[in-house]
Chain A
Amino acid sequence: MTAAWRSGGLAVGVSAALLTAGPPDRLTAQDTSAIDRGVRVGIIYRPGVRPGMVLLPVHAPALDSVRAIMTRDLDYSDRFELITLPGGDSIRVTAAAPGARPPVAGGTGRGTGGGGAAAATTLNYPLYQALGADFAVAVLPASGDSTIATVHDVAAGGVRRELRVHLPALKDPAFRLAVHQLADRVLEAALGAGGTAATRVLFVMEGKVYAIDQDGADQKLVSSSDHQAMSPAWARDGRRFAYMEFWEGHGRLFVQEVASGKRAPVATTGQALDFTPAFSPDGKTLAFSRATEEGTDLYTVNLKDGCCLQRLTVGRFYDNLSPTYSPDGQRIAFVSTRAGLPQIYAMAADGTDQQLFAPFDYGATGSSNAPEWSPDGQTVAFHRDVGGTLQVFVLDVRTRAVRQLTSVGRNEDPTWAPDSRHMAFVSDRSGYRQLWIIDVETGRIRPLLQKSGARLPAWSPRLPETASSTP
């Protein structure tokens, strides 16, 4: 159906300028530095091509920035090809007459909840089909200070879902997160998949911990002390994070609340060099590395009661560090130097059943470090020394196959987005070390932060709903 429209329907009111706007994007090979954007013209249906998405222009100043943020979020999801309308914003979205509503597309039942007639729009579906759009999103003001985002299923010729939200004011600190959450809901409505728009990345720069939205906006300092900080790590609920600070040669661990900014030292740490904290998925346990004169070993501590320090590894002549939990909390992947160079191992969460995880050739494979288990549990990302520089690798948990993901410059410290397909990492491919994001499925890559010295990123889970957002 879609194929038919696209192969034959280009005559429908599309200008010649649009036709010559450029070749259709191809799915790129992995790890290219090209950032593809711009016009997509759907001429031939090709399986595997991402569905086309168009965000309809709005004519309200506040909603203009909503549309801009959502457009970028949906673009960065790498699940759509964003379509720019010919003539910019000159195509007007016409409000439907009261009571008139386009038919609801079949399939997804829950859709038009709370829908005010004012927000409903009619679309010239054949036109948007000709443009290559599979989905169109209209963001319009609605009654009672609310906003309605209507997700149109262009191919089916109907409304997929109407999402009503109360967005905070533009200047409100909660504004951006609320818009990001709306973008994730649009993605979910269109494809049934979870997005990563409402997430932040923690990182270290000049010894301090910062947070930044996944789209590169709203960078904030979150660690307040003068002590040098390292290794931020999120709790799975997105409400807390942990990090390490140097205190007179000791490494102290802190857990900080996102909402209040309050932090507390982790009990039973502070008298040794404790580092690389990692929350268990249920948030009750913190695993970490402790360096003593016996070497470095893994420990856990009960966060709620601040007690019950448990030692998981005993390596008198080698180091064990950098724990990362599987999402079911049953296993911990970590780094061990038991075979000489650091490599990736795994064990049960209580320290038993320790075994090699990412295979390597003894004497040939370089050091492997910084593992992070993906939120879907299927892969572990880490970096490995390849010819004197570091590259990001992905281990398939089931098959134990290891795949190199990067090759341009030095690439290290990967951290998974909650969709388990995007990854932030540190790379010097542009000439200095900065944070980048790669879509593992398409290889599309973009800079997250164009500042030198940013490192040790930690990508948040989907951040909790704010009070300003209603279902």
Chain B
Amino acid sequence: MKRLPLLLLSGLAVAAMAACGGKKPETTPAPVGINADSAAEADRLRADSAARAAREAQEREEAERRRQQQIADSLAALGKSTEAVRALLGTMIHFDYDKAIIRGGDAAVLDQKVAILQANPALRIRMSGHCDERGSDEYNLALGNRRATAAKQYVVSHGIDAGRIETVSYGEERPLASGHDEDAWAQNRRDEFEILSGGENLKQP
């Protein structure tokens, strides 16, 4: 998958060359010899020039078409990759009641995020901590803050620049599941991950 940007680059190079090639005949006037005493010779030269111009125009169109196709192809491939990376990046992690400790199983989820952040140096993300409805409303803002910070500390300890991660807490204000049972609470005790910037074209790690 690492050749995808190369594909894009080569596509752009082809297009650039095509553009240069196309411009040449128009900027260079038809050669007029000092001994141009023959009208026929002049006509032949003109016809020659016109044919060449037509041929070059055709080539130009062909090159443009190929270039567009290549861009479309590479963008489609990139888009597919970006979607897949985004889905990975968006995977939430969950917490025990009134705890902000990363669970063993969720460390692997965070490892994926570390890899994605390493593969995409321009990527900046926001981690938001959330709580279930059982605790105190205002205390949950502090608890959600600790949950977001716990995930940030994990990825920073694995080599990611702290400046690329923003943390926020929504406490219990934005529940994912609306129920009032352990199932809903377990879903709501979570960290969410969203892209702040640099998420247009994401490379798979």
Interface residues of A (CB under 8 A from B): 207, 228, 230-231, 246, 249-251, 273, 275-276, 289, 291-293, 295-296, 319, 321-322, 335, 337, 341-342, 367, 369-370, 383, 388, 390, 412-413, 455-456
Contact = CB atoms under 8 A, between A and B. Distances in A.
A231 B136 contact: no
Contacts of B166: 249
Contacts of A367: 98, 135-136, 139
Interface of B: 98, 126, 128, 134-139, 141-143, 145-146, 149, 152-153, 166-170, 173
A456 B137 contact: yes
A246 B128 contact: no
Given A230-B173, A295-B145, A319-B142, A383 B136 contact: yes
A275 B138 CA distance: 8
Chain A CB within 10 Å, residue with most, of B126, B134, B142, B166: B142
B142 A289 contact: yes
Nearest to B167: A293
Contact of A230 (B138, B149, B152): B138
Given A289-B138, A295-B146, A295-B149, 17 more contacts: A230-B141, A230-B173, A273-B145, A273-B168, A276-B138, A291-B141, A291-B142, A293-B149, A296-B141, A296-B142, A337-B142, A341-B98, A369-B138, A390-B136, A412-B136, A455-B137, A456-B138
Contact of B168 (A228, A250, A321): A250
Contacts of B167: 293
Contacts of B173: 207, 228, 230, 246
Contacts of B142: 289, 291, 295-296, 319, 321, 337
23 contacts: A228-B173, A230-B173, A231-B138, A249-B166, A249-B168, A250-B168, A273-B169, A289-B142, A291-B145, A292-B145, A293-B167, A295-B149, A296-B141, A296-B145, A319-B143, A321-B138, A321-B139, A321-B141, A322-B139, A341-B98, A369-B139, A412-B136, A412-B137
A292 B169 CA distance: 10
Contacts of A322: 138-139
A335 B140 CA distance: 12
A467 to B, nearest CB: 37
Contacts of A456: 137-138
Contacts, number: 79
A370 B138 contact: yes
Chain A CB within 10 Å, residue with most, of B139, B152, B168: B139
Nearest to A370: B136
Contacts of B138: 230-231, 275-276, 289, 321-322, 369-370, 456
Nearest to B194: A249
Nearest to A291: B145
A207 B166 CA distance: 24
Contacts of A369: 135-136, 138-139
Contacts of B152: 293
B182 to A, nearest CB: 12
A160 B167 CA distance: 63
Chain B CB within 10 Å, residue with most, of A275, A293, A295, A342: A293
Nearest to A248: B168
B196 to A, nearest CB: 10
A335 B139 contact: yes
A416 B152 CA distance: 39
Contact of B141 (A273, A370, A383): A273
Nearest to A382: B136
A249 B139 contact: no
A342 B137 contact: no
Nearest to B174: A228
B169 A291 contact: yes
Contacts of A455: 137
A230 B137 contact: yes
A458 B120 CA distance: 47
Contacts of B146: 295, 319
A288 to B, nearest CB: 11
Contacts of A337: 142
Contacts of A293: 149, 152-153, 167
A457 to B, nearest CB: 11
B176 to A, nearest CB: 16
B139 A342 contact: yes
